[in-house]
Amino acid sequence: MRRKSFAEDRCPVARTLDRVGDPWSMLILRDAGFGSTRFDQFQENLGIAPNMLTRRLETLVEAGLLERRLYSEKPPRHEYVLTAKGRDFQPVLVALKAFGERHYPKRRAR
């Protein structure tokens, strides 16, 4: 079952969430902002299933937030680099981090 698309919505928040509204996409963009570029780096850092990571990377490339670049021809390997649009999204992640630190602080172990 596919979720409703907000790509053509009048609200810019809805249109943005249509591209990056799931946690995995935001975490991939966060890691890309910290310098991760390769599939195995994202997978190791996030603990995400390979098929889900593949779908999220494709979606982020289609949305213009990441660029897929060939870095090895034999065997063919690609890296995923933030575009200007992806870099423009980084302050959103900083704001989410600040909100989370203030309203959902990490609970201390007992």
Per-residue pLDDT tens for 24-39? 999 999 999 999 999 9
Q: How many residues comprise the chain?
A: 110
Could you give the dihedral angle defined by the CA atoms of residues 26, 30, 32 and 36, in that order, rounded to the nearest 10 degrees? -120
Rounded Cα distance, 13 and 27, in Å: 18
Q: Is the pLDDT of residue 56 over 90?
A: yes
Location of structure tokens 């660029």:
67
User: Is 25 within 8 Å of 36 (Cβ atoms)?
Assistant: no
Across 82-92, b (16+ Cβ under 10 Å) vs e yields bbeebeebeee
Domains of the chain: 12-103 (1.10.10.10)
Per-residue pLDDT tens for 69-95? 999 999 999 999 999 999 999 999 999
pLDDT at position 16, please? 87
Rounded Cα distance, 47 and 18, in Å: 23
